[in-house]
Structures are given as structure tokens and as C-alpha cells.
Structure 1
């Protein structure tokens, strides 16, 4: 059962972010909660985002801290317009200052076990909700969550008693309440009565089937209805099973286990096939030679998802390499990467063929991230370099780590900066430099070194030492170096370029 620990009503502003963060810290310390710094950052970042991005700004904002048998919960509700764009620069160690400077959901996603945004259009109270969830303990095994939907409180209590020793059970007495609980808790399975006073079980099934995050939820009817028309309508849906009341505990548990095992098997089969197909289309690759340069690309994905994209455009003696890093993990992030790859490929080819400079290209990309319905749901960092065979380079950056220039004089970051696409910034500034014969460039994603971290002296020396090796061997050594670092849980892609 959810226990409400604290609740604050506020107006979104920097001052309110400070005030509520202090009160939140007091409650967390009193409750001996772990992960206090993560909750501090989340509080500051989310409130500051609400003060900056929605237009018009919300007039009603509420922050709630709760705990149930398995998790700590932080929920931010607001009545403003739903919004999609969050910045993700990581520059300041202080949570509030970092939020003010643009630290965003990318860092929060690494800190929390579960983070999601529920737009107001899916909620009866017409409020947007940001939900962050963290396990009570790293040692405590997480139980599967089930939702029991029945208008009879006595029967809900019976079913909950049957199941609560094996699962986390959430209850709802109506379709509208159940719909909200599914969006919040994301249960693995719903056990639903067919016939209820306001809306019937099939209505809940239909509602969930239109929500991507909920459409995969297993669904069992548990009903005592004898109405043939109602039952026929209910069974016309592709549910997982049907049980008639009354049901024994053994029968209910066996049915649940069978349904969950079957769902898990089918999901694994589908995911495996999709991963294989999509991975082939996303695998970063570059030729070993482009006009005037040798190239070595190395990449590593610690899980099936993620999205480091690398694309090459060539016309005559000029080449353009574009690398994008998509925020997210799992197959859904890979799906967005696949869609984004196609968009970037088409736009990049058109811009390059029309001799559009990189500043104009990134301006178009930023506008597209604001206006396109799919790209609005995508958080990405990008960097592009245009290479002339003579050694002249032009750079534009949008949130990626600084590349490294490797020469006999040492290892120097190429400090080219730019805002993430979609944040309302249309103007990008390029940087031009000359690469001499034998000098190298290292372009890398934040799986190698995070954009907010400085290049340490130890890293400089390791990169410099690699320059004595042939290009391919140096790339192998640098990938191994990146995988041994603190950012190795993220996708890692690096491109090593040498002037010939």
C-alpha cells in the first residue's frame, strides 16, 4: 500500500525549487532514505524545467514523496501544457545549479530505476505527471506487480489476500481508477472484473491497447457475470485468460504464473527478432579510407538498446561524418534511433548535395526537433565534421563531448559548443581547423567520456601513447580504455581519423 510521506504545493520558480528541495531533504533524512542526492537533483531539475519550458506556465504544481512495499516514489503534477523537450547538459556538481544550467533527464535516467512522463491527455484530472521510482533497497528482490480491478471491495480483498505474499498487488474499483493505476505502476498483469457499474472490463482493455507503454500488459478476466451478451463482448478481445468466480487461490496463482510465463516467452521471441533486424540497420560503420584520411571506428553496446548513430556523406574530395547519441536504453530507444537515422540520412544527404554549411544544417535539425511529432519525443546529442582532402576541417556540435586533437605537441580538446537540438536555439557556430599529415582526431560518444567531465592528465597520456600505434590498433586500445572507465555502462562509439 502506498504511504504518502510529504506533499508540497508550489509555483514553478528557482526560489521554489530551492525551498521544496530543502523540505524534501529534511523528510528523506528523517526517513533514512538512500539516494538522497538523486531525489534532490530530480526535485530541482523538474521544478526548474516547469518554470522555463511550458507556455503558458502551469498555475498548479504539486510534488509528492511516497513509499510502498518495494519503492520510493517522487511524483510531480502540473496543470500546464504537456511538453517534450528536456535539456541534458551535465556541467555543475551542485544539483540546483546544475538544473539551472540545463542538466536534464539523461542524468536522472541513469540515477533512477524507473522514470516516465504521463501527459495530461491520459489522465482524468487533466494534469501532467512525472514519475520517478527507486527500490527501497538494492538487496530486496523486486516482486511483479499485479492490478486487481473489481467494484466489490470484499472480493478485491480476497484476491489481494490470495496474491500479496507472492506479488505486489495494487487495487482499483473502477475502469477510470484502474487506467490511472496502470499508467503509474505499469503492472505486468491486470485481473479485471467483466461487469462493473460505470464501465465494463472490456473498456479498460480497449483503453490500454491504445497506450504504447501499456498495450503489452497481460490481461485476465475474473468474473461472476452470467450475462451472455456481456461475456461475448468481453471475450471478443484478445485477453490472456478467463476465470469464473469463485476461484481458489491455487487456481488463480497457477493461471497467473502460466500467463506471465507465456507472455515472457512471446515477448522474448518478438524482441529477439526485432533486435536482430534493427541492430543490423544501426550498426555504426565507416570505410577505412576517405579522401585524404584513414579512419578506424569502434563501438560497443552493453545492452540491446541505445542509439549511437554514425553517418558518412561524400561528394568529390569532401566528406561529412555525423555522429548522434540518442538518450535511452532498451528496444524502444533503438526504435527511435532507427527512425532518427533515416531522417538524418535524408536531411544530411540533401544538405550536403546542396552545399549547405554545417551551421545551417544544424539549424534545420534544431527546428525539426521542435516541430516534428516524432522528433519531439527524441532526446539526442549530435556532432558533425566536414573534412576536405587538404586537411581543412569544419565542426559543429550540439551537446556531444569535445573531440580530441592528437599531435606531437600533445592531446588538446577541440572546444566547439552548441545547444541540444529542439531547445529553441536556431543558431550554431562552427569551428574551423587544419589537420596536418600524421595528426589524428578522436571523436567519441559519452560512453567513452561524459560531456560534463574534463580530460584528465592520465587520459591525455593514454591517448597520446596510443598515437604511436597503427590506427586500427590505437582504436582497439582506446575502446578498451573507454570500457574500463566509469561511463562504460553506456553505449560507446569512437572514431579515430588520421590525415594521410
Structure 2
């Protein structure tokens, strides 16, 4: 999956590195969910831009920075119109041999330590210098994250071994260390001993229920104490379970799974209730025939977090359709999806009387995301398209996966791109127009379609097989093609999937 996340041009000045770093912090927080990798990307960005500002000869006047996802790789490109020292001419194994006056203050060693795949192209008369940094997208797991808090090293190691094959486990030796760990890595469940030095388990639980971001995190005590008074104190703190030592591997996993499953059921029931009461007020089933186009839509909902919004508005001449993906997997993200749904629906309905183009709708969304203090707290991607007769399709994109053009001969990405909404004021999106011929289809989807498998290997298999079946079903009716694709998706991603998924097939009605 390829998508542009941010492209930004600025004048060269002393504040350039600082300004770009602040902007990129927002982008990385929403897209690259590895704290250490975020740090490396920011370091390469700030050190490189600082070098351009201070050391390029002749002096550069403009810098263009571009960050995107290219398949399984993060790519950062920094271009300038001045002269710049080629970092790739330096052998990282011989950094110690670089002249002191060259390395000092330029962070070359830091850059090499943060990225081992760097490419540089020197500008010519009408071209700019360009340095490219590449990082592999590391394997991500969708296993539940457990924070294990236990002061005895041997017991901590034993429980970690019990859980490591089933969960992503983080460890802490007391309550204070647990609080620090939670700041760096949110978890799905806390498993804590009660009797510990420094801060015991009861104090840890008391601290967490005072913090809105942790008060709903499932919490399980594990202790050797069978005293009724101790159990009563623990229960009064609203814990989810209480396990008496000694504990076997099977018993420990049983208690954890029971708590996690109960939590998922509660979240799903509450989400469904809210969906029924709120979302139906601004979402409607999209017709199977719209502005001389056949449309087939299928969706999969995890029941948690932000979710996908599919909205449309028809006029006599054409129809406007918006597919928005609200990022985030917590309760607040679900609230923001409703807020954005109401806002976007209102704009589209107004377009019934004063026609709005696809790129204009994205620009409205970006302005709202930038200016509104509340809505700016969540990140979204989106693609908006106008359907018109005779196979005319106009679309604009904001950091969303590229749509696909499907024919009997091939399946190819349609390169329409734009940055994440809300990053910059007055963001413009450039629409493209294509004509879809008889026998061709368009596929539009959210990233859940190719990223809902549990790990990177499975995701690669999921993406390859989904693309294969999309192409193979070009000969069958569009509704059956949709069912076959989603059957394969359910088989590989499981039900429910790890991410909300929306898949749309379009074909023109010609003649």
C-alpha cells in the first residue's frame, strides 16, 4: 500500500528545522506507532535540515520535505536548491576517520546511527539535491498488550515466559516503574502483584483510576494473600479479577482471556448502542445505482475506535461520495468519528443546493481539522469522488490508499495523492479526472482491507491474495465479485478483523 502523508515546502531559515520537526511530530504520532523509530526519523529530519541551513554552499533558499509509505517502507525525502555535502559518500564504518571540522556540529554519526539506508542525488541545472532515508516498517503484532508488575525477578521472569507466546508483554518491578511504562506504551490489561516495595499494587490501582486515560484499562491482581480484608480492599478499587498464587500457565491465561473477552463484549455492546442512536442520523445506505454507475459496498466493523465513514449526496448531474477513515482505537476516536460524520454530512447536504467538488470537500475537512480545537485531536485520511455519466470519475485524496483501476489485463494503482488533513492551513488538494471504459472497474478501500492480518507476513499474504481475487473476478457481476473478495478477506483476516474495513467496487453504466 502506497500513500503520501505529508509534503511541505519552506524557505531556508534558522527556524526551518524546528518548524519541520513540530509538523512531523504530529504526522508520526498518527502513523508510525514505534516511539524509537519516530525518534530516528525526527533526528534525521532535523539534522539534515540543519546541515542544509548552516552548511550548504551555495546557500539554499528552499527546502521540500516529503514523507510517505511505499509498500512496507517509510520514505523521507528532503530536497533543496543549494549545495549540500553528500552523506552517502561517507562510509559509516569509517566515521571515526572523518575530519573533525567536517563532522563536528553536523550530526553525521547520529544520522548514520538512525538510518542505514540513505540515498543522495546531486542537483543539476534545473534539478534539486535530494537525500532519501528509508526505514522498513517493522513487524507489528495485534496481540493483546499486557503490563506485568512484579517485584520478584524470578517470578516476573516465570510469568513473562508463561505469557510471551500469547501476548505482547511489558514488565515493571513496582508501581512507579509501571506508571512510567504506561506513559510510553498503552496496554490492554495490567497484571499486578499487590505486595511490592516503593509503590504496591493497591497504590498503583488507586493512581490509575484517577487518570482518565487509564481508568478503564482492565486490571487484575495476583497475590499470595488469601485474607478476606485484602480481597475486599482490592475489590473496592474496581478490579476485574483476583488470582491467588501459586499460578499455573493455563490458569493465568484463562483469567486474562476471560477479562479481555468480557471487556471486548462490553465495548461492542456500548458501541452498537451508540451507533444505532447516533450514526443513523447522518449515514444512509448507498444505492447500488448512482449517476449511471453500478456500486457495490461491503464493510467490516471492529466495534471499537474511530471507524470508517461512507457518505454520499446526489444531484441531477452527478453524485459526490466520501470515504473517511478516522484513526484511533479508543473510545474518544469513536466520538470524533460521529463529530466528523455530522460535519461532513452537513457540508455534503448543502452541496445539494450549491454544488461542491471533491477536492473542495477535502479542503473544508482539512480546514476544520486545523482550526477546530476539538477535531484537531484526531487524525483521519479520506478519498472523495464525483461520479458522472459516461464513465467520468473525478477524485481527490488525503493520505488515503490509492484506488485501483481493474481491467481484464491488469490491476494498477491510480496515483492521486494529498497530505493528511489538518496539518497545515489553507491545504489544497489536486483532483484528477479519468474515464472508466466498458469492462473496467474501480476499487476504493480503507487500509483495513490489506492491513487487518495479525502480523507483517500475514499482511503481505492478505494483500497479495486480495489483489489477485479482485483481478480474477473482473468477469463476474459486480455484487458477486464483492462477495468473493470479502469472503477471502474474512478467511485471512478473521472475524471481526483487527481494523475497520470498507471496500467499494465501481463500474460505469454505458450505452
Residue equivalent to 2:293: 293
> Quick one: distance in 2 between partners of 1:200 and 1:101?
48
Matches within 5 A, 1:72-83: none
Alignment deviations for residues 174-230 of structure 1 (CA, whole Å, 9 cap, x no partner)? x64442144456452233469x98999557524444243463231659799xxx9xx
C-alpha contact (below 8 Å) 1:193/1:221 kept by paired residues = no
SS of the residue corresponding to residue 269 of structure 1 reads: helix
Matches within 5 A, 1:95-174: 97=76, 108=137, 111-113=139-141, 145-148=147-150, 170-172=171-173
Report how far residue 383 of structure 1 moved. 0.8
SS of the residue corresponding to residue 365 of structure 1 reads: helix
Residue equivalent to 1:189: 191
C-alpha contact (below 8 Å) 1:218/1:239 kept by paired residues = yes
Q: 1:486 to 1:350 in 2, by over 3 A?
A: same
Candidates 86, 90, 107, aligned match of 2:69: 90
SS of the residue corresponding to residue 367 of structure 1 reads: helix
Candidates 261, 267, 276, aligned match of 2:263: 267
SS of the residue corresponding to residue 205 of structure 1 reads: helix
Q: 1:391 to 1:205 in 2, by over 3 A?
A: same
Q: 1:469 and 2:489 equivalent?
A: no
C-alpha contact (below 8 Å) 1:148/1:169 kept by paired residues = no
Residue equivalent to 1:79: none
Residue equivalent to 1:139: none
C-alpha contact (below 8 Å) 1:148/1:172 kept by paired residues = yes
Residue equivalent to 2:41: 48
Matches within 5 A, 1:243-282: 249-250=245-246, 260=256, 263-264=259-260, 266-274=262-270, 276-277=272-273
Q: 1:376 to 1:223 in 2, by over 3 A?
A: farther
Residue equivalent to 2:385: 385
Alignment deviations for residues 122-143 of structure 1 (CA, whole Å, 9 cap, x no partner)? xxxxxxxxxxxxx9xxxxxx99
> Quick one: distance in 2 between partners of 1:288 and 1:260?
44
C-alpha contact (below 8 Å) 2:443/2:504 kept by paired residues = yes
SS of the residue corresponding to residue 289 of structure 1 reads: coil
Residue equivalent to 1:218: 219
Residue equivalent to 2:505: 495
Runs of 5+ in structure 1 lacking a partner?
1-11, 14-38, 58-86, 115-134, 136-141, 150-155
C-alpha contact (below 8 Å) 1:395/1:430 kept by paired residues = yes
C-alpha contact (below 8 Å) 2:191/2:220 kept by paired residues = yes
C-alpha contact (below 8 Å) 2:162/2:249 kept by paired residues = no
Residue equivalent to 1:321: 321
Q: 1:96 to 1:302 in 2, by over 3 A?
A: same
* TM-score of the two chains, using structure 2 as the length reference: 0.54
Report how far residue 396 of structure 1 moved. 0.9
Q: Which has the higher contact order (CA 8 A, sep 6+)?
A: 2
C-alpha contact (below 8 Å) 2:404/2:413 kept by paired residues = yes
C-alpha contact (below 8 Å) 2:357/2:386 kept by paired residues = no
Report how far residue 498 of structure 1 moved. 2.0
Report how far residue 480 of structure 1 moved. 5.7
